[in-house]
């Protein structure tokens, strides 16, 4: 974030490399990648380097019950076909959101992806990313993340206005980040509020 200087960043990278057992020969490459990600334009003029620590929530955990959820209707609501063998879902919806951040009064959900789609930036075009998002059920995933976020924020900010205060969902495919091209490797979407309402109702709206 903007609260971390370059020397701090290098120290953090080195510590994490040691923790996961990465060879030190990758040090310069990883530091360069992290710097590229931090300065990369995600949408309009938004970059992670401009986000203060006080405006970000890392790894938000969520856990809420679901009962007799019709998976076919859930997929249909977001314009997808149910490609699983599951039709009815019961139990608890659990997970973590990589990052929620606030910029200029608007909230964004961000998820990092390290998927290898090819060896060149041309493999990470909007068309290719959309294909991967659909095939990997990431579109379903971020709608679930969004429901979890809305339930979280409305407890803390009852007057939260989706249309005015929610910026959108960002999936950042790290291998597709091209420092010379803004928003490369970025999949962005801001779901319609009507779709979110239907999705929330199917999952058992908390309202």
Catalytic site positions: 111
- Residue 195: closest CA among 27, 79, 68, 61: 79
Number of H helices, E strands in the chain: 7, 5
Is residue 23 classed as helix, strand or coil in its secondary structure?
A: coil
- Residue 37: closest CA among 113, 147, 120, 127: 113
H or E stretch covering 65:
strand 56-70
- Within the chain, residue ranges assigned H as helices are 6-20, 27-39, 71-77, 126-135, 138-156, 162-165, 193-202
- Exposure string for 86-111, b = 16+ CB within 10 A, e = fewer: eeeeeeebeeebbbbbbbeeebbbbb
Q: Are 97 and 60 in contact (CB under 8 A)?
A: yes
Q: Are 201 and 140 in contact (CB under 8 A)?
A: no
């Amino acid at each position: 974030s903007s609260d971390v200087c370059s020397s701090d960043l290098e120290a953090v990278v080195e510590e994490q490399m040691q923790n996961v057992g990465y060879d030190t020969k990758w040090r310069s490459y990883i530091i360069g990648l992290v710097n590229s990600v931090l300065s990369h334009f995600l949408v309009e003029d938004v970059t992670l380097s401009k986000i203060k620590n006080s405006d970000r929530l890392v790894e938000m955990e969520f856990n809420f019950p679901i009962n007799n959820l019709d998976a076919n209707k859930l997929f249909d609501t977001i314009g997808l076909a149910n490609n699983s063998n599951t039709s009815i879902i019961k139990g608890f919806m659990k997970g973590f959101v990589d990052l929620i951040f606030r910029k200029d009064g608007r909230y964004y959900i961000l998820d990092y992806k390290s998927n290898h789609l090819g060896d060149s930036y041309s493999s990470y075009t909007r068309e290719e990313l959309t294909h991967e998002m659909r095939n990997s059920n990431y579109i379903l995933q971020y709608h679930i993340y969004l429901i979890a976020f809305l339930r979280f924020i409305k407890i803390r900010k009852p007057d939260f206005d989706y249309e005015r205060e929610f910026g959108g969902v960002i999936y950042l495919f790290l291998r597709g980040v091209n420092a010379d091209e803004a928003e490369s490797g970025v999949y962005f979407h801001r779901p319609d509020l009507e779709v979110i309402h239907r999705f929330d109702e199917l999952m058992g709206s908390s309202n």
